[in-house]
């Protein structure tokens, strides 16, 4: 397939710059994977689309305040966006600076610490952070919420809570698993009371999630890698869901990548490591039966994943409908619920 096959026109005013007053206030576009039919609903109606025995799988990664500011010895300002924490004193980061720093360059960070350039890994820099006893505590005190590049404003106090799911637990992401932002605690409790089980995976989302697909041919694109953990307990929950005839419902494309990336010899298995799985049309899903997701960037790897799940034609038609009906797009935007064709069918 060609990258341009996933292009669509999106008016700037449909990009959600801020969250709604309540998490569950979003709209929900339902896409039937068999017929391609769409239905306009509200997110609070999600319980009507699920049934006892289903398993809701959530990504419990926690967004860290991953954007830092500082200056070089020359006085030039530097913006640092962490890609991931490597260990207690080293990070992998993207730098926005007038001129790429050389090996050994020291950057004085706002907040009193220093970052020294140790090397490069592709487009990122390896930085050693000095003068900090607890790196996560330093980030919480002096870092900024790493809002996506399409949100054209500085982070505000509101973002510290709202660009985070209510079930976030494991710190390490630099972007939110945005499908999970629509849930509040009462809704999760209501679903549990209905007999809908909940499981967790951890996939620490990197800044690479916003990188565009640059190759003209989709198959030539190479995904960035992200840290992933799928526990034995989650694998057991998926197996139990299968045995009772329930559906595995992935909350977000990160959960899809986590579950499908942990498949070994055709079966889901415990996994801890990195994944660079790239899912595009033609992929045969082994674990996920239904998907809750936000609306994604044109020509992105994420809209390609959705197209693999729901079918390319149905996905692009649903996006055209969402634009026409003035849905809100991207991280703080509205959601889609997709039930895919019968198990074993190729999307």
Q: The tokens of 5 are what?
A: 């096959």
Q: Which CATH number characterizes residue 135's domain?
A: 2.40.10.240
Mean predicted confidence (pLDDT) in 206-215? 87
Query: Based on C-alpha coordinates, what's the Rg of the chain?
Result: 20
- pLDDT value at 343 more than 60: no
User: Do 282 and 333 fall into the same domain?
Assistant: yes
pLDDT of residue 337: 98
User: Do 240 and 113 fall into the same domain?
Assistant: no
Q: How far is CA 306 from each of CA 32, 156, 218, 268, 318, rounded to the nearest angstrom?
A: 13, 31, 14, 20, 11
pLDDT band at 224; cut points 50, 70, 90? confident
User: Do 179 and 298 fall into the same domain?
Assistant: yes
Query: What is the number of structural domains in the chain?
Result: 2
User: Do 33 and 181 fall into the same domain?
Assistant: yes
Measure CA 248 to chain center: 18
pLDDT of residue 41: 98
Q: Is 280 helix (H, G, I), strand (E, B) or coil?
A: coil
User: Do 230 and 109 fall into the same domain?
Assistant: no
User: Do 222 and 206 fall into the same domain?
Assistant: yes
pLDDT of residue 342: 47
pLDDT of residue 341: 53
Closest by CA to 39, choosing from 51, 27, 50, is 27
pLDDT in tens, 96-112: 998 889 999 999 999 99
Mean predicted confidence (pLDDT) in 17-26? 97
Q: The tokens of 134 are what?
A: 């607890």
User: Do 94 and 173 fall into the same domain?
Assistant: no
Closest by CA to 340, choosing from 273, 264, 283, is 283
Mean predicted confidence (pLDDT) in 179-197? 98
- pLDDT value at 74 more than 80: yes
User: Do 166 and 277 fall into the same domain?
Assistant: yes
User: Do 290 and 242 fall into the same domain?
Assistant: yes
Q: Is residue 173 part of a domain?
A: yes
Detail the DSSP E strand segments found in 170-264: 170-173, 197-204, 226-230, 248-251, 263-264
pLDDT in tens, 23-34: 999 999 999 988
Q: Treating both helix axes as pointing N-terminal to C-terminal, what angle do 312-324 and 301-310 enclose, rounded to 10 degrees?
A: 110
User: Which positions ≥6 away from 290 have C-beta within 8 Å?
Assistant: 54, 247, 248, 249, 250, 337, 338, 339, 340
Residue range of the domain that includes 116 = 67-144
Q: Is residue 103 part of a domain?
A: yes
Q: Is residue 347 part of a domain?
A: no
Q: What's the rounded Cα separation, in Å, for the pair 346 and 327?
A: 29
Q: What's the rounded Cα separation, in Å, for the pair 302 and 67?
A: 23
Least confident of 198-202, 241-245, 294-298, 342-346: 342-346
pLDDT in tens, 27-56: 999 999 889 999 999 999 999 999 999 999
Mean predicted confidence (pLDDT) in 325-338? 98
pLDDT of residue 122: 87
Last residue of a domain, one of 120, 144, 168: 144
Q: The tokens of 206 are what?
A: 């990197």
User: Do 201 and 261 fall into the same domain?
Assistant: yes
Q: What is the mean pLDDT of the chain?
A: 95
Q: Is residue 151 part of a domain?
A: no
User: Do 312 and 174 fall into the same domain?
Assistant: yes
Closest by CA to 277, choosing from 262, 257, 297, 294, is 257
User: Do 78 and 45 fall into the same domain?
Assistant: no
pLDDT of residue 99: 86
Closest by CA to 49, choosing from 294, 252, 311, 337, is 337
- 41 has which bridge partners? 28
Mean predicted confidence (pLDDT) in 270-274? 96
Mean predicted confidence (pLDDT) in 201-227? 91
Q: Is residue 136 part of a domain?
A: yes
Q: Is residue 22 part of a domain?
A: yes
pLDDT of residue 203: 97
């Amino acid at each position: 397939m060609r990258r341009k096959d996933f292009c669509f026109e999106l008016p700037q005013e449909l990009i959600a710059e801020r969250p709604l007053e309540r998490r569950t206030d979003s709209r929900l576009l339902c896409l039937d994977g068999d017929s391609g039919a769409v239905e306009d609903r509200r997110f609070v109606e999600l319980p009507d689309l699920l049934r006892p025995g289903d398993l809701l799988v959530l990504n419990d990664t926690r967004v860290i305040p991953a954007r830092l500011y500082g200056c070089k010895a020359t006085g030039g300002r530097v913006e640092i966006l962490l890609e991931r924490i490597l260990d207690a004193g080293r990070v992998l980061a993207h730098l926005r600076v007038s001129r790429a720093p050389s090996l050994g360059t020291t950057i004085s960070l706002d907040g009193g610490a220093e970052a020294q350039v140790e090397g490069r890994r592709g487009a990122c820099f390896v930085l050693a952070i000095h003068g900090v006893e607890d790196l996560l505590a330093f980030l919480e005190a002096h870092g900024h919420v790493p809002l996506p590049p399409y949100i054209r404003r500085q982070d505000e106090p509101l973002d510290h809570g709202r660009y985070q799911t209510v079930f976030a637990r494991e710190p390490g992401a630099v972007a939110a698993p945005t499908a999970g932002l629509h849930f509040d605690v009462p809704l999760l409790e209501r679903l549990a009371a209905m007999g809908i089980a909940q499981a967790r995976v951890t996939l620490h989302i990197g800044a690479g999630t916003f990188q565009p697909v640059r190759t003209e041919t989709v198959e030539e694109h190479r995904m960035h890698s992200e840290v992933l953990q799928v526990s034995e307990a989650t694998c057991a929950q998926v197996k139990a869901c299968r045995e009772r005839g329930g559906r595995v419902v992935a909350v977000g494309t990160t959960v899809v990548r986590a579950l499908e990336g942990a498949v070994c010899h055709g079966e889901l298995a415990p996994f801890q490591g990195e994944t660079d799985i790239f899912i595009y049309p033609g992929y045969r899903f082994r674990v996920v039966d239904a998907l809750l997701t936000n609306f994604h960037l044109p020509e992105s790897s994420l809209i390609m994943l959705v197209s693999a799940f729901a079918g390319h034609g149905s996905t692009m038609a649903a996006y055209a409908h969402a634009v026409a009906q003035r849905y809100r797009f991207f991280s703080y935007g509205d959601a889609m619920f997709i039930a895919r064709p019968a198990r074993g069918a190729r999307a």
